[in-house]
Amino acid sequence: METRDDIATADIDVRALQTEGKWDPWSREKHIPMVDLAAEHGLDAFIFDVYFIEDSERKLEYKVLNSITDSTLSMDAMKNLFPDPDNDLADASQRAGNIIFAQSFKPQPKKKEPVKKRSEVMERRLKLLEEKNLFRTVDREKYSMLFDFYDIETAVDTLIKNSAGVYFFQSDPDPDGLQRKYPLVGIYENRIFPSASLAIALKHYGVSFDDVEIAPGEHISFDLPEPDEHGRSRISIPINEKGQMQVNWAGYWQDKETGEFDMTHYPYNVLKDFQETEFSNYILSEYKKLMNLSFNGDVRATMKPALGYINASKRNIMKAGMSINSYAPIEKWVINNPDGDYASFPGKRKPPLNTFNEIKNNNVIADAFNDSNRTEDPILEALIADGSIAYDLGIDGYEFTTYDQHIKDLNEVIKKDDENKKKYSKVRGEARNTMRNFQIISNLHKNDMINEQRPLFFIPNSGGKRIFIGSEEKGTVHNVVPFEFVGKKLYYGLTATGTSDLNPMPFEPRYPMVGLHANALNTILDNKIIHEVPKEQIAVILFLIGLMLAFGVPALSAAMGGLATGVVVGAYAWLSFWLFSNQHIWLDMVGPLSTLAFGYLGITIYNYIQEEKNKNFLKESFGTYVSPELIDQMYESGEEPSLGGEEGYHTAFFTDIQSFSAFSEKLT
């Protein structure tokens, strides 16, 4: 099942534990690069499925202490040497403005526990949650059947204050241990808390939790400020009495054969590398945004406001401004002279050829994406093949087919031709930069940001490092480029093998639970909400099946009865799959199909036993003086045997042949 591209996970995987250290859990400064990524690259929300319940200890490493040369430090100066992980994470979260933290509740067991008395710390934190309107107070009696909690453990004070929300991540497996359902709400004393994915869905639509209608055993519903992409003006999610909805799982975390994932998963190391290497593009994009939206494209007028607006050093901001000032005139000329080439560019001091070609190519690509006559997005190969963009093949007599094949062929040439290795490497670098720019502009088009980011030039990866996810062997590579994360909602949690947050779901025995929350959100936002056919209607179906088995099948021969039952089973199974796949309607298969199968099997066995009984009766009654063939004929006639024979009128015809003896002798 396809999933939305604005929902993904950020994975603390095995590689992350190898590079950053084992999960103990991690010290909080290791999470700051993820928060900075959320701040710098336009994420809609970055959601921690990681708990920060206890205050961090401020520890000073020996190597830091050993590096101090001033022996007269004041007490305050000494205190400042100690890292402050909680406040550092909180400050980064405040700058980002889109960070969601997790809180934990203890669900009531079967035998109800009294609500645990809160500590002074938890009382204070609960008050902070109330000030941020993160729950609502209700009449407990009306909602007592909801997912019930008897204790709370919420995030540390400074994280609550500087977050965009704090929500619960508890799940409640079915009796067989599988995670099929997702609790949308939970009740603690007389307070109803939204789960993380319900809260993110409400934020996505701009709906307050106070405006959500909760009817245990029926639905959770809310009106939308405007119709969504599916045409819905109201969303109604069926829930059971505990407030749980059915999760419409997208599939395996990763298919072992194809390497495809159920949704996009970004490893921690990829995100960390991206945040570090694309920092210059973050500064550049923020400068362009401010310049084009607030200062009508005036580079100089933007400089001073940019120094206070962009979270970067003065030197880096000024460098971005000067780069824009150099590229803007080139783009202006290219736009005004769409058929112009490098030779016709005016002035004595022309830009380098590759710079001119890059700006021109990027504008050709942008025009292709903006072409209203297109029914599909352009592809790079087509633009190269028809000569729309400047693209150096590098190899004499080379016939271009695809970009990937061109890169493979360049790699082979580079291995074999040491003399021209530098030349071919340069061609490969320019080709990769063209693809990178194409993907960046594709991201801009998707988010309607092309004009906001003019002039269309972008800083190449530092050191030419390519950042990607997926597997090159299985052909699932996806390059991670700027504007990849605009509008995305990233769930951040443990996925490493052997860690605690892996549980069984319908497709896998060990599925990372951070994906449960992402699948739940996808179910709501992508209109894949599962509607279960009511038990009353299933009872009617079972009754009709019973009538068919009682009166229809016995009236048919064994072969025809089996055929009829098989057709009904196949049709019902097909209908169930079709309804689920296309309409997300869950029509129970187990009850009706098992009733059909076992009912038909029972009738068949019963009829067979009865036939054997009837045959045995006839054989025992007449077998000593009637031939077996006649007994079979008696059985097949279906008539009950009777004593005394039958009385009636019969006609006999006798004839004779003249001279029969002579005739008979001739025959012998």
pLDDT in tens, 451-479: 999 999 999 986 667 899 999 888 899 99
pLDDT at 4 over 60: yes
CA distances from 656 to 497, 653, 660, 666, 668 (A): 102, 11, 8, 17, 19
Is 215 in a helix, a strand, or coil?
strand
Count other Cβ atoms within 10 Å, centred on residue 352.
9
List, for residues 548-571, the tens digit of each pLDDT value: 766 666 666 666 766 777 777 777
Categorize the per-residue pLDDT at 640 as very low, low, confident or very high, splitting at 50, 70 and 90: low
Distance in angstroms (rounded) separating the CA atoms of residues 241 and 519: 21
Minimum mean pLDDT among 339-343, 500-504, 652-656: which range?
652-656
List, for residues 419-432, the tens digit of each pLDDT value: 889 999 999 999 99
Backbone angles phi, psi at 298, to 5 degrees: -85, 110
Pull the structure tokens for residue 140. Answer: 């407990």
Distance in angstroms (rounded) separating the CA atoms of residues 481 and 157: 35
User: Of 12, 499, 521, 2, which is closest to residue 266 (Cα–Cα)?
Assistant: 12
Q: What is the CA radius of gyration of the chain?
A: 38
- Number of H helices and E strands in the chain, helices first, is 23, 21
More confident: 280 or 624: 280
Give percent above pLDDT 90 in the chain.
69
Distance in angstroms (rounded) separating the CA atoms of residues 522 and 247: 9
Task: Output the pLDDT for position 440.
Answer: 98
DSSP-derived pairing of the beta strands 99-107 and 166-168 = parallel
Categorize the per-residue pLDDT at 518 as very low, low, confident or very high, splitting at 50, 70 and 90: very high
Establish how many alpha carbons lie within 13 A of residue 455's alpha carbon, considering only the half-sphere containing its beta carbon: 26
For residue 595, what is the DSSP state? H
Task: Output the pLDDT for position 576.
Answer: 80
Would you say 414 and 428 are in contact if contact means Cβ atoms under 8 Å apart? Answer: yes
Task: Output the pLDDT for position 632.
Answer: 67
Distance in angstroms (rounded) separating the CA atoms of residues 267 and 270: 5
Backbone angles phi, psi at 21, to 5 degrees: 110, 160
Distance in angstroms (rounded) separating the CA atoms of residues 112 and 256: 43
More confident: 416 or 10: 10
Would you say 230 and 554 are in contact if contact means Cβ atoms under 8 Å apart? Answer: no
Would you say 153 and 122 are in contact if contact means Cβ atoms under 8 Å apart? Answer: yes
Mean pLDDT of 643-648: 66
List, for residues 585-613, the tens digit of each pLDDT value: 877 777 676 776 666 666 667 666 766 67
Categorize the per-residue pLDDT at 86 as very low, low, confident or very high, splitting at 50, 70 and 90: very high
Average pLDDT, the chain: 88
Cis geometry, peptide bond prior to residue 455 (ω within 30 degrees of 0): yes
Distance in angstroms (rounded) separating the CA atoms of residues 269 and 264: 15
Enter the pTM of the model: 0.85
For residue 397, what is the DSSP state? T
Pull the structure tokens for residue 621. Answer: 């009654």
List, for residues 293-351, the tens digit of each pLDDT value: 999 999 999 999 999 999 999 999 999 999 999 999 999 999 999 999 999 999 888 99
Minimum mean pLDDT among 142-156, 511-525, 595-609: which range?
595-609
Mean pLDDT of 495-508: 90
Distance in angstroms (rounded) separating the CA atoms of residues 276 and 283: 12
Task: Output the pLDDT for position 633.
Answer: 67
Task: Output the pLDDT for position 551.
Answer: 67
More confident: 83 or 178: 178
Beta strands in 616-658 (DSSP E): none
User: Of 187, 103, 74, 94, which is closest to residue 140 (Cα–Cα)?
Assistant: 187
CA angle 274/277/283 to nearest 5° reads 100
